[in-house]
Structure 1
Amino acid sequence: MTVEEILNEASALLLDFDGPVCSVFAGIPASTVADQLRGVLADGGYTDLPKAVADSADPFDVLKYAASLGEDESRYVEAAFAAHEVEAIASATPTTGAHELIEAWHESNRPLAIVSNNGEPAISAYLDLHNLRTSINFVSARTRTNVAQLKPSPHLLDQAVAALDITPGRSVFIGDSTSDIEAAQAAGIRSIGYANKPGKRSSFGSVGADAIIHALTGLMITA
């Protein structure tokens, strides 16, 4: 089945945020945010971090480690992360074709949800900044209480299809990571891997994405 057939058979579209919609940390490097989150842990007395956490350029690695330490640590680090994400939105770069895809889907009179491990405040700020709010029916995103339920857990996807009142099998999710594809499979949702970097095509193929794309432009959406 082609990408267009999958999209046009679907009753709802679910989109990951960082990647398929925009590059959140285009102006503020993710490695800088990871360093700042490690600083939050250091302020709490956690200075001897595992090497993988101490060396990681991915703030999500620091967040996951904080969640393993306890509720307070998770809450403090998540709050700092959410603030940095909101700050980053001002310099976030829209993904080519993403806004056009969102608008075309909205015009097809089918619901669309953002499903993301990023924080809801940052996503809301982006939607408002780019006048996309009215084209989005629901946002299923990270909060201070669901850090343990981020993708590859199906929780956020389950939440989205429930809110849209659509059966999982009638939905399709576009994501740019293997954890997105794994979450979609666990939720019973078709998946399209957005291979925006070298090596992702083979990774998506290995985890069973239903289709793979390299760009969001040129996708034919019919009403």
Structure 2
Amino acid sequence: MNPADLLTQARVLLLDFDGPVCSVFASIPASTVADQLREILAEGGHAELPEAVAASADPFDVLRYAATLGADEARYVEAAFTAHEVEAIPGATPANGAHDLIEAWQVSGRPLAIVSNNSAAAISVYLDLYNLRPAVDTVQARTSSDAGLLKPSPHLLRQAIATLDVSPGDCVFVGDSVTDIQAAHAAGVRVIGYANKPGKRAKFTTAEADAITETLASLVPVS
């Protein structure tokens, strides 16, 4: 389906944060953050990590592994991860067309939620930095070390839907990862895959996204 048409039909817009709104780690590489989280585990006596975790450039892989080690390990790693996200926000690069889309959606009078695995603290800093808070009705994001609540779990999407008191069929979610597509399907929400990097269109097609776009600017203006 044409993504702009899908958005026009929606009553509620749900936006992922890292990707569809901005590049969180534009100034501090995610791989550097992952390394620092691994150092925390090493300091706690967990220097020997599974190969996939030891080599990963994704901090979420380290967080999810920390959660398998125990509540304390998960809590320490998540707290450090949040601190690094907040530190990175001033250097985060807005996605082309993202702020225009958010503002156009606000003008349309329809609710908007940010639904993200990133920390609520970091998202809050970003919204204040760019004066976007008035355009966002709710933020459903990481507030604890419980990695099981993060996408591909539908938990955060369901929280947003409940908070806005709407039905899943009223919503369209824009996400830039296969886990976003999976979470949307599990929550009964239509989803637009934001293919902002080479190879993503094919992955989103396989994951059965309802629509795919390579640019957010094509979704603006919202009618």
TM-score calculated relative to the size of structure 1: 0.98
**SS of 1:202 mapped into structure 2:** helix
Structure 1: distance between partners of 2:220 and 2:78: 38
**SS of 1:208 mapped into structure 2:** coil
Unpaired stretches in structure 2, ≥5 consecutive residues: none
Structure 2 counterpart of 1:177: 177
What RMSD over aligned residues (CA atoms) do the two structures have, in Å? 0.9
Q: Does 1:187 align with 2:187?
A: yes
Alignment of 1:40-51 (within 5 A): 40-51=40-51
Structure 1: distance between partners of 2:47 and 2:146: 25
Alignment of 1:70-219 (within 5 A): 70-219=70-219
Structure 1: distance between partners of 2:4 and 2:18: 22
Contact 2:112 2:136 in 1 (8 A): yes
TM-score calculated relative to the size of structure 2: 0.98
1:110-129 per-position Cα deviation (integer Å, ceiling 9, x unaligned): 00000000000000000000
Structure 2: distance between partners of 1:2 and 1:197: 19
TM-superposed deviation, 1:146: 3.4
Divergent runs of 4+, >3 A: 220-223
Q: Does 1:30 align with 2:30?
A: yes
Contact 1:37 1:77 in 2 (8 A): yes
Structure 1: distance between partners of 2:120 and 2:108: 25
Structure 2: distance between partners of 1:191 and 1:40: 36
Structure 1: distance between partners of 2:117 and 2:86: 14
**SS of 1:140 mapped into structure 2:** strand
The count of aligned residue pairs is 223
**SS of 2:125 mapped into structure 1:** helix
Structure 1: distance between partners of 2:191 and 2:221: 16
Q: Percent identity?
A: 65
Unpaired stretches in structure 1, ≥5 consecutive residues: none
